[in-house]
Amino acid sequence: MFENEFTWGKAVAENTQDDFHEKYEKALEDVKNDLNKEYPIIINGKELFLEKKFEVKSPSDTRIIVAKFPLASKEETINAIKSAKEAFHEWSNTPYQTRAKIFQECADYFSKRKFYLCALMSFENGKNRIEAMGDVDEAIDFMRFYAYQLETNKGFSKETFHPNPKEKTRTILKPYGVWGIIAPFNFPSAIAIGMTTAALITGNTAVLKPASDTPLSSFEFAKTIYKKLPPGGINFVTGSGSVVGQTIIQSLEVDGIAFTGSREVGLSGFKKFTETETKPFISEMGGKNPVIVTKSADIENATEGVMRASFGYGGQKCSACSRVYVQNEIADKFIEKLVEKTKSLKIGLPWQKDVFLGPVINKAALKKFEEASELVKKDGQILTGGTVLKDQEHENGYYVQPTIVTKLSPDHKLTKEELFLPFLCIYKYEDFDDAIKLANETEYGLTAGIFSKDPNQLEKFFYEIQAGTVYANRTSSATTAALVQSQPFVGWKHSGSTGKGAGGENYLQQFMRGQTQTRCD
């Protein structure tokens, strides 16, 4: 059976939060002793240290060098792809039970080290301890759930019925070959490991390229798993997207791509990868996620759910809430309460216990925030936030205020474009049907939420909303924090390319292709 790791949730349920914090603080000291180390890439089962390298600096305090990684070239990336291709035959012929066991063991190892990995992530990408633990937990869940799925479906091989008893028929799903895995910075453990596990556990080999802002979390996975596979089964290559990423996407030797990132990069990658061949390109490409708040909503719960969905990890989640539509009758009370809660959020070093919001990821994100804030001053109104924090406490990191804005036109670029920032646009509405229409007026369709006590409105919302992962009256977060198995994470429209959600029972099948086998007596 599969069971979610759910570390913080269990701590709350069992009233052991103090124990959680104690373990995190201890792990934090261990991580501090491991900062500023040099790490290799992994190709063909060998760890390679290169002369050219780059520094991974903490966005919380750029004076802290988290790690140093090789700046791989096109040649090294090609060697990684070649190694993966050569390893495919042996790995794909490894019994599915063996493959499942390897990832179960890796998940168990991660579970034992989860507080260290969690503290490491706080330095690497600026998540507070609870957000970081959720990320590590999700990586563990992906490994265990996909192993569970593989075993439950007996390697995705089964007999089929044929009316002629002399014909014995069977269907089987088989791996494609080499998969390129291109991962984002915001979930450097969960998304990178989840996509790579799905490719590997189904018998493919992989070349993993992590985001250059956050390579260390997924390196922890690669170094744990690579010795358990044939040499070249997994290759870990760091470097720029314009070199490593493009080489993977342009290679005729790569049989599939799993990508999470922006719509712009995802669509251009898809076009290039399938330019001359039809090959699978599994992508999740962001969102512009709405929440509808009706006059029957519990305002306390609605503001809490929206605040957490909008500003958890600084809005740097594909699932973050960035648009809210509030019915006129309660709009002023809702806005007043939401602004009050937002102003009370503690912003600072994410490894400190009382901090809710750490930094945005890098200088480019900081600049994008400044540009958006200036645009609102011209075209709308800032209710709270809109400022880059440059005081003594925040001067060495990329800190911004969580921002709530209003009075923008419904078709304004800030309402349409994904910002990946702690930036929330609020609109008022009169009629519920209009709210659903406005919520659906986006090229994205990842997540959406509603707060209402009217069962008819809830049913209408679930029936008409154009998004793949939707929630009603969810105080813990109106649009984020999907749980593996329970809430497969799937995007519609430009938010995803396949309509099959990560962490769901249909996800693994995308990494394989079907074969029908017939034996005649």
Where do the H-state alpha helices sit in 202-262? 216-225, 246-250
Locate tokens 């949730």: which residue?
9
Going from the C-alpha of 492 to that of each of 1, 447, 448, 455, the distances in angstroms are: 30, 9, 11, 25
User: Residue 326 burial by CB count (10 A; 0-12/13-18/19+): exposed, middle or buried?
Assistant: buried
Phi, psi of 427, deg, nearest 5: -130, 150
Question: In this structure, what token pair is assigned to residue 111?
Answer: 């579970």
- Reduce the secondary structure of 368-385 to three states and give it as a string: HHHHHHHHHHHHCEEEEC
Going from the C-alpha of 205 to that of each of 147, 234, 339, 513, the distances in angstroms are: 16, 6, 49, 15
Answer whether residue 491 is part of any domain: no
Query: For position 231, what pLDDT does the model report?
Result: 98
Query: For position 299, what pLDDT does the model report?
Result: 98
Question: In this structure, what token pair is assigned to residue 78?
Answer: 């090609």
Residues 6+ apart with CB under 8 A from 227: 45
How far is 390 from 396, CA to CA, in rounded Å?
A: 8
pTM of the model: 0.97
Answer whether residue 451 is part of any domain: yes
- Are residues 423 and 274 part of one domain? no
Question: In this structure, what token pair is assigned to residue 76?
Answer: 């090294």
- Are residues 512 and 451 part of one domain? no
Query: For position 436, what pLDDT does the model report?
Result: 98
CA quadruple 198, 203, 204, 208: dihedral sign: positive
How far is 469 from 449, CA to CA, in rounded Å?
A: 9
- Are residues 266 and 310 part of one domain? no
CATH number, domain of 211, equals 3.40.605.10
- Are residues 55 and 152 part of one domain? yes
- Are residues 78 and 29 part of one domain? yes
Answer whether residue 1 is part of any domain: no
- Are residues 337 and 260 part of one domain? no
Query: For position 521, what pLDDT does the model report?
Result: 87
Answer whether residue 368 is part of any domain: yes
- Are residues 403 and 480 part of one domain? yes
> Which residues of the chain, if any, have pLDDT below 50?
none
How far is 93 from 155, CA to CA, in rounded Å?
A: 12
Would you say 501 and 488 are in contact if contact means Cβ atoms under 8 Å apart?
yes
How much is the CA Rg of the chain, to the nearest whole Å? 23
Where do the H-state alpha helices sit in 113-215? 114-125, 129-152, 190-201
Answer whether residue 319 is part of any domain: yes
Answer whether residue 141 is part of any domain: yes
Helix axes 455-464 and 432-440, enclosed angle (nearest 10) = 30
How far is 242 from 237, CA to CA, in rounded Å?
A: 13
For 106, the domain range is: 7-285+498-520
Phi, psi of 379, deg, nearest 5: -110, -10
Query: For position 208, what pLDDT does the model report?
Result: 98
- Are residues 177 and 249 part of one domain? yes
How far is 163 from 409, CA to CA, in rounded Å?
A: 63
Residue 386 gets the label, from left (phi > 0), alpha (psi -120 to 50) or beta, of left
How far is 442 from 237, CA to CA, in rounded Å?
A: 35
Answer whether residue 477 is part of any domain: yes
Answer whether residue 112 is part of any domain: yes
User: Residue 184 burial by CB count (10 A; 0-12/13-18/19+): exposed, middle or buried?
Assistant: buried
Question: In this structure, what token pair is assigned to residue 213?
Answer: 């802002």
Q: What is the pLDDT of residues 359-381, one digit of tens each?
A: 999 999 999 999 999 999 999 99
Residues with a known catalytic role? 284, 318
| Domain count within the chain | 2
CATH number, domain of 458, equals 3.40.309.10
- Are residues 99 and 204 part of one domain? yes
How far is 281 from 259, CA to CA, in rounded Å?
A: 8
- Are residues 96 and 213 part of one domain? yes
- Are residues 398 and 514 part of one domain? no
Going from the C-alpha of 456 to that of each of 246, 296, 461, 463, the distances in angstroms are: 49, 12, 9, 11
Locate tokens 């190709």: which residue?
43
How far is 405 from 451, CA to CA, in rounded Å?
A: 20
Residues 6+ apart with CB under 8 A from 27: 115, 116, 118, 119
- Are residues 357 and 250 part of one domain? no
CA contacts within 13 A on the Cβ side of 68? 9
